[in-house]
């Protein structure tokens, strides 16, 4: 795969996960290339492997939003990705999340499981009490239609927090 930008060229290396950039690259171009790679790794049909890699991809995709974005990774029964969608946009410190819409979206895509994700524009990925409450509500609501919540990942400039890794799910 080769990706052209106005000033640089991204070339995929011979072995998986290796890339070469030819030409001068600005920070903005590098971020754009990183987002393209993250989107490729989170594309339909890919089996989600290493949780840390998934978290880094999510962090890359949601890093520069000036407002909160809440989305889902929808998975099939084999935990292959069906879709990554941003469902709700909010303000600098909150986003309204409607369980009914999350359930409708998951059912429309025939998802067996979901990973919830949202960003914190402040950069601090520490979940709030509201984050924990909505996660519990979504877990209960999705459970009623046999859709498992595997994780809720909060990303920020300073890293990420996984509810599953903390034993909160």
The structural domains of the chain, with segments of one domain joined by +, span 1-41, 48-162
- Indicate the CATH number of 48-162 among 1.10.150.130, 3.40.140.10, 3.40.50.1370, 3.40.50.720: 3.40.140.10
> Structure pTM?
0.78
Residue with tokens 């890359």: 60
Q: pLDDT: is 46 or 99 the higher one?
A: 99
Residue 139's pLDDT is 98
Across 11-21, average pLDDT? 62
Strand pairing category for 81-89 and 113-119: unpaired
Inform me whether the pLDDT recorded for 151 exceeds 80. yes
Residue 35's pLDDT is 66
Residue 118's pLDDT is 95
Sign for the pseudo-dihedral over CA of 39, 122, 157, 72? negative
Q: Report the interhelical angle of 129-143 vs 99-108 (nearest 10°).
A: 50
């Amino acid at each position: 795969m080769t990706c052209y930008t106005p000033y640089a060229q991204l070339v995929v290396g011979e072995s998986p996960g290796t890339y070469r950039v030819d030409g001068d690259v600005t920070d903005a171009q590098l971020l754009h290339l990183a987002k393209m790679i993250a989107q490729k790794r989170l594309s339909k049909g890919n089996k989600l492997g290493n949780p840390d890699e998934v978290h880094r991809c999510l962090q890359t995709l949601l890093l520069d939003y000036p407002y909160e974005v809440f989305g889902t990774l929808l998975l099939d029964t084999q935990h292959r990705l069906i879709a990554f969608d941003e469902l709700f946009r909010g303000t600098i410190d909150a986003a309204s999340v409607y369980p009914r819409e999350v359930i409708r979206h998951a059912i429309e895509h025939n998802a067996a499981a979901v990973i919830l994700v949202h960003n914190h524009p402040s950069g601090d990925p520490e979940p709030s009490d509201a984050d924990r409450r909505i996660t519990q509500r979504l877990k209960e609501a999705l459970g009623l239609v046999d859709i498992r919540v595997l994780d809720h990942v909060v990303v920020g400039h300073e890293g990420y927090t996984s509810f599953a890794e903390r034993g909160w799910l």
